[in-house]
Amino acid sequence: MTETPSFPEPVISVRNLVVEFATRRGPLRAIDGVSFTIGKGEVLGVVGESGAGKSVTGSAIIGLIDAPGRIAGGEVLLHGKRIDNLPAEEMRRLRGRKIGMIFQDPLTSLDPLFRVGDQLIETIRTHSDLSASAARERAIALLAEVGIPAPERRIDGYPHEFSGGMRQRVVIALALACEPDFVIADEPTTALDVSVQAQIIALLKRLCATRGTAVMLVTHDMGVIAEAADRVAVMYAGRIAEIGPVRDVVKHPLHPYAAGLMGAIPTLSSEADRLTQIPGAMPRLTNVPPGCAFNPRCARAFDRCCIERPEPALPSAALAAREHVASGHRVACHLYTAREDAR
């Protein structure tokens, strides 16, 4: 395989992002040097345990990290232009118009006191010059597009009159109302029934594909990733452990942590009675070990892992050939760089 040409122009680039939270005992690094790009129409799945920094990465990109958190380093670029240092008012104009965000719980994402139509119309009119009636037309069209039946009637309903799945459809309509170039979906199906999850993911994928929207899909559900993502990034303790094409990472995980994660997915075909588990727990952000953050739990750790921090890199050519590693598959692990250094 050669370079991945399907997503040539990056919509969003994150370079060496560092997010810190000020605490009484000094700054706490929630995100420590995360880099990735997402191209037009591409879906990047981001997986990891709770506290791995998935959601904080999303909040950092859209500029909604609440104090005492702040972006302490690195940069975020939208279409090649830096946005992490924009004044608050300019950043606000980008939110909703260029960058959309979908939250985890549709039951709490909508203001209970406002009709869903009014919430849509206010979003549309905040970012465009449409008249009230034109915005209402647009809102009805959006509701129809996300699969709300009888949208011209439902537009005057209140959130509590919608089911969870329908509310998440409304949330998606809100996030996509102004046709953003990039959408952050922060665990969009976690709070939903399993039967509804697939519908919502399919809807999100279809809408973003037709619009060419770049998507960052944060989840801890590997099934969702396998279904919807083009590439996947595995996060651990605020860093990216492995990133690459989704089939590749799921089928041939390189990083011991990613391998453990994939091994913990139950499959119907598997003969094993027990799922593999990774011993121990993710370190607290207050005491991330030196070197590779995963080293205390890693069965294959060696001296270098406890001293030098591995950076995400392409595995050595010989190894890539042997393990059938696709291009663009990067891993932050000394197991795959050690030999190259020795050469």
Residues in touch with other proteins (CB under 8 A): 62, 64, 92-97, 100-101, 103-105, 108-114, 122-123, 126-127, 158, 160, 171, 174-175, 177
**Between 173 and 243, CB nearer to other proteins:** 173
CB of 330 to other proteins, least distance (A): 29
Q: 216: number of CA atoms within 13 Å, CB side? A: 30
Query: 12 and 231 in contact (C-beta within 8 Å)?
Result: no
Shortest reach from residue 156's CB to other proteins, in Å: 11
Tell me how crowded residue 133 is: count the other CB atoms within 10 A of its CB: 9
Report in angstroms how near the CB of residue 111 gets to other proteins at its nearest.
4
| Residue closer to other proteins (CB basis): 124 or 234 | 124
Min CB(240)–other proteins separation in Å = 23
Q: Between residues 191 and 301, which has the closer beta carbon with respect to other proteins?
A: 191
Cβ density class 185-215: b for 16+ within 10 Å, e for less: bbbbbebbeeebbebbbebbbebbeeeebbb
The nearer residue to other proteins, 127 or 205, going by C-beta atoms, is: 127
Residue placing its CB nearer to other proteins in the complex, 7 or 21: 21
Instruction: Provide, rounded to whole angstroms, the least separation between the CB of residue 68 and other proteins.
Output: 12
- Smallest separation, CB 102 to other proteins (Å): 9
Closer residue to other proteins, CB minimum distance, 179 or 303: 179
Q: How far apart are CA 336 and CA 317, in angstroms?
A: 10
Strand partners, 95: 99
- Nearest approach, Cβ of 50 to other proteins (angstroms)? 17
Rg of the chain over all Cα atoms, to the nearest angstrom: 21
CA separation for the pair 193, 279 (Å, rounded): 30
Reading the block at residue 204, the tokens are 């999100």
State in angstroms the smallest separation of the CB of 187 from other proteins: 12
Which CB atom, from 103 or from 257, has the smaller least distance to other proteins?
A: 103
CA neighbor of 196 nearest in space, from 218, 164, 219, 225: 164
Joined tokens for residue 228: 């919807």
* Residues 332, 312 contacting (CB under 8 angstroms): yes
DSSP-assigned letters across all residues of 151-164:
HHHHTT--GGGS-H
CB distance 207 to 173 below 8 Å? no
Provide the minimum distance between the beta carbon of 160 and other proteins in the complex, in angstroms, as a whole number: 5
Locate 186 and state its tokens: 């922060």
β-pair type (10-23, 182-186): unpaired
Closer to other proteins by Cβ: residue 113 or 299: 113
Question: With respect to other proteins, which residue has the nearer C-beta, 64 or 317?
Answer: 64
Phi then psi dihedrals of residue 202, to 5 deg: -60, -40
Paired with 214 in beta bridges are 182
89-104 burial, b if ≥16 CB within 10 A, otherwise e? eebeebbbbbbbbbbb
